[in-house]
Structure 1
Amino acid sequence: MFNSQLPTDGSNAPKSTSIGVDVFDQRTERHGNERIRLLLKSFGLRTSLIRLKVIDALLTAAESNRSLGVRGVHAHLLELDIPLSFLSVREVLKRLCSEGVIVLNEDKSYSLDPRAAAILQHH
């Protein structure tokens, strides 16, 4: 099975990785994501790291009056050192759309569904 964290060129793996510290074990980030966790729960969805990060990316873009498509969300996650494949990001976006959490706009960008935005505002 392929492990993206293992070196493929024969070199030694880095002594410390940012994944364990920066992504999975930040208490402040976990607390900040609590409203997204509640949003997912209200739509009957399980919480996963990729769902949290995808929704957070869309929220961050919306706060900056920007819109993101699949490539934009994927690029944002790569900038945060979150090693997810383009296909994984696309599938999560499709699932969130099918569940009504986000909507695909005419310009192929994604945004929160108005019902989801209302849930977030109440938390």
Structure 2
Amino acid sequence: MYNPQLPTDGSHASKGSAMSSGACNQQTERQGNERIRFLLKCFGLRTSLIRLKVIDALLSAAEGDRSLGVRGVHSHLLDLDIPLSFLSVREVLKRLCSEGVITLNPDKSYSLHPQAVAVLHGEQSGQQASLKA
């Protein structure tokens, strides 16, 4: 019996494995996003896609011992096919700085504030009280 949703070349297995690896990547991304969502909540900020992606870009750079400025973060997001304007990225970075989530380094690059790193690593027991003060 003919099913128009199935490929006719017999490639059922490869398509299924591609879908399962995609689901795995989505689950991993969700777990990473949950950490960032929690971080934003601890600092009293709402979650937005641009904040999630900007913080994720800074985390990725830190893991690779790189530093990113506004242009670096913007380029990283464009490489991920996230079409945000340079001005939007700059404004989000400025807001995250003013709220204490990230810091502007002397070389004009951005990094997570030590308190934010502590929250991400689960050391928020005494940190939440100091964040609210």
**Common fold by TM > 0.5:** yes
- Smaller-chain TM-score range? 0.7 to 0.9
Higher helix share: 2
1:79 paired residue number: 79
1:118 paired residue number: 118
TM-score (norm 1): 0.77
One-letter amino acid matched to 2:112: L
Paired with 1:27 and 1:50, the residues of 2 have a C-alpha distance of 19
SS at match of 1:122: coil
SS at match of 2:121: helix
SS at match of 1:107: coil
Cα displacement (A) at 1:53: 0.2
Q: CA RMSD in A?
A: 1.4
Paired with 2:88 and 2:97, the residues of 1 have a C-alpha distance of 14
5+ residue gaps in structure 2?
1-21, 124-133
- Segments of 4+ in structure 1 off by > 4 A? none
Paired with 1:28 and 1:105, the residues of 2 have a C-alpha distance of 30
User: Aligned pairs, how many?
Assistant: 99
Paired with 2:93 and 2:87, the residues of 1 have a C-alpha distance of 10
5+ residue gaps in structure 1?
1-21
Calculate percent identity across the aligned residue pairs.
81
2:99 paired residue number: 99
- When Rg is computed on C-alpha atoms for both structures, the one with the higher figure is 2
